[in-house]
Amino acid sequence: MEETDVCYPTASVQALQQAIPNGCPAKALPPSQRLDIGVRALAQTQTITDLADQYDVSRKFVYQQLAIAGQALTEAFTPQAPQDQILFQLPVTKHWLRQFTLGLVLICHSPLRGVVELLRDLFDTDISLGTVATIVQTAVTPARQRNQSQDLSRVRVGAHDEIFQGRQPVLVGIDPLSTYCYLLSLEEQRDADTWGVHLLDLQQRGLDPDYVVADAGSALRAAQAEVWPDAPCRSDVFHALLLLSEVVGKLENRALALMTTCAALQRKVADNKQQGRHDQSSVKLLSNATKQQAQAMALADDVAVLARWLHFDVLDLAGPAHADRLALYDFILAELRARVPQAAGLLRPLATYLQNQRDDLLAFAAQLDRDFAALAATFAVPAALVRTLFAVQTRERDDPGRWRRDAPLRNILGARYFPLSQALDEVSRHTIRASSLVENLNSRLRSYFFLRRQLGNDYLALLQFFLNHRRYLRSEHPERVGKSPAEMLNGARHPHWLELLGYSRFSRN
């Protein structure tokens, strides 16, 4: 194209310049003219200066359009890689198919028939359902041997509980600090003898915890006291708060039901009045329902307040001293007992549970008092200051109030602030108040359980091995990322879980 083929009247540029409030014609140039600038600069039919003068723009702007046009031209003529390009060669052998099958079952949660279908459709390979089951079953023996050979002497805290599959109990034991599962056994019953046999077996493998966290199950606690009489069994805060939440929810639902009844009676009385009828029975029912509604709402509100106090002031990690928590706990319990006549079916079991579990629920607070006293003596600071710093550090990092309270503590403690903070982090990490990791494991196991109507201990042994030796891809705790529970427990790396089962993994290098 010759330079004279396209003409851009100066009047048009001036009109554009007048239309723009800030007097910058470059911003008003449409895409078509920007394209022309880039093409003409790329063709070098005009100098950069001439193009800039013609469009009343800067030389920098012309160079920008030149760069854009050049990049577009390069991309247009760059050959694209074909979609079916071979990325790498994979030697598919029977050995590889076996570990691929295990990967599908354990990593991808695939049912056995899904493995058969995938190999048929994507690998053009026929494999029977029995062969897939045999591959899985063959991995059970080395998995169980690995489970049984684990030294449990490093476990300092045990979290014990029961989960159910098809009305059958599965006994579970987990180390909360490493998330290592050292007990996963399907049983016909969950009595003290059954628990005791398993705890004795774990004791022979080195398990001797400082304390155990469990719910109020009598069989579990009886076995615990028999096997480790010197190790206290603390009550699980999670179950206590869950019971509180259920009671509050039921009381609120009862109040809402009475509100619905009152509203219906109010409409009925209003309709009768509008039609000139006087139904004394409806008026009396409305009066009684209104009183019941007021009592139910007041009861629900009172119990909700008491539940919040118990949750955030008594059972929270950061809080007052053990003696003060006991006093507040007793006050809350007395208030609940005073309201038992208003909802005996809900409040009496709750009050009995809290009365029986009082000391075990607050055992962690007594331990915190001892830890704070030891740190206060080590760093030569008042124990109250240590408790205050601990309360600040347990608040969320994005909470502005944390940093407002943290700054004065830094000034008071000076050089002792950082080592004391690290020591308190360790105290927080090692203070276990709940066995909720068992519930977490339960949620992870459910994705496997739903594939089978019936479970067996062989299958559970394989799952236990896999979950203990599979490395975390992500975690809220940075120290766990890229490590398996077994590695966090032992403090040493181990081979990949497939290699522990006797397989050689494929490597592209």
The neighbour count for residue 422, using CB atoms within 10 Å, is: 10
- Mean pLDDT per block of 10 residues along the chain (509 residues) reads 40 48 71 86 87 87 88 77 73 92 93 94 93 94 94 94 86 93 92 94 94 90 93 91 94 93 86 79 84 92 95 92 95 95 94 93 94 95 94 88 90 93 92 86 83 77 95 87 93 94 87
The pLDDT score that the predictor gives to residue 43 is 86
Q: What angle do CA 315, 321, 322 make, to 5 degrees?
A: 65
Q: What angle do CA 259, 263, 269 make, to 5 degrees?
A: 140
Closest CA to 46 of 65, 32, 27, 30: 65
The pLDDT score that the predictor gives to residue 83 is 63
Instruction: Give pTM, 2 decimals.
Output: 0.74
The pLDDT score that the predictor gives to residue 155 is 94
The pLDDT score that the predictor gives to residue 80 is 64
The pLDDT score that the predictor gives to residue 452 is 67
Overall size of the chain counted in residues: 509
Closest CA to 148 of 103, 184, 179: 184
The pLDDT score that the predictor gives to residue 7 is 40
